[in-house]
Amino acid sequence: MTELNNLVVFLVEENRYALPLDNVFRIVNATEVIKLPNTPVDILGIINFQGEVIPVLNLRQRLNLPEKEIHPKHHFLIASTAKRKVALFIDAPQGVIEIDQSLLVDSDHFSSEVEQILGAIKLSDGLVLIYNLEKFLLPEDVLVLDQALGQLI
């Protein structure tokens, strides 16, 4: 697993997930999502964030959790992948934690089949799964998203 020092922890349902702080740009209140035609179910649509068109990824779909209507009390976590900024629809931010490397459990220890999970961290009050945003979309989904976004320009 790559060297991680600080994580942004967030809730989706009752589950805690995290992204490396270096990947997180900002957490904002949820806003209206504009649907894009012919995009994968893992993409809810797009938002306008400070003049930038950002795709909203459907983390609930990816995690096999029940769908939830977007409400202003929810949040979007704006993060960077190697290719673009994306927004994740989350229930609530939990904060930033500094982690002790000895508490990290590599994903190979519990599942080599789940590419989107980098690993987990054991905290006194439970586990936090560390999400791999680079593996969220399949390559063919990225291609479809690129085409849909290209039509907007």
Strands 85-90 and 75-80: antiparallel
Lowest average pLDDT, out of 19-33, 92-106, 138-152, goes to 138-152
Note down the domain range covering 44.
6-150
What is the number of other CB atoms lying within 10 angstroms of the CB of residue 150? 8
Residue 32: inside a domain, yes or no?
Answer: yes
Residue 50: inside a domain, yes or no?
Answer: yes
What is the number of other CB atoms lying within 10 angstroms of the CB of residue 83? 11
Residue 65: inside a domain, yes or no?
Answer: yes
Residue 132: inside a domain, yes or no?
Answer: yes
Query: Which residue shows structure tokens 């994306």?
Result: 86
Residue 114: inside a domain, yes or no?
Answer: yes
Dist CA 22 CA 99 (whole Å): 14
CA 32, distance to chain mean position in Å, is 18
Percent of the chain with pLDDT over 70: 87
* Predicted structure pTM score: 0.84
Q: Look at the chain and report how many structural domains it folds into.
A: 1
Average pLDDT over residues 128-153: 74
Residue 1: inside a domain, yes or no?
Answer: no
- The token pair at 110 is 């519990």
In this prediction, residue 79 carries a pLDDT of 93
pLDDT tens sequence across 73-124: 899 999 988 888 899 999 999 999 988 777 777 766 555 555 677 888 888 8
Most confidently modeled of 45-49, 127-131, 134-138, 147-151?
45-49
Q: Which helix (H) or strand (E) is 76 found in, with range? A: strand 75-80
| CATH number, position 136 | 2.40.50.180
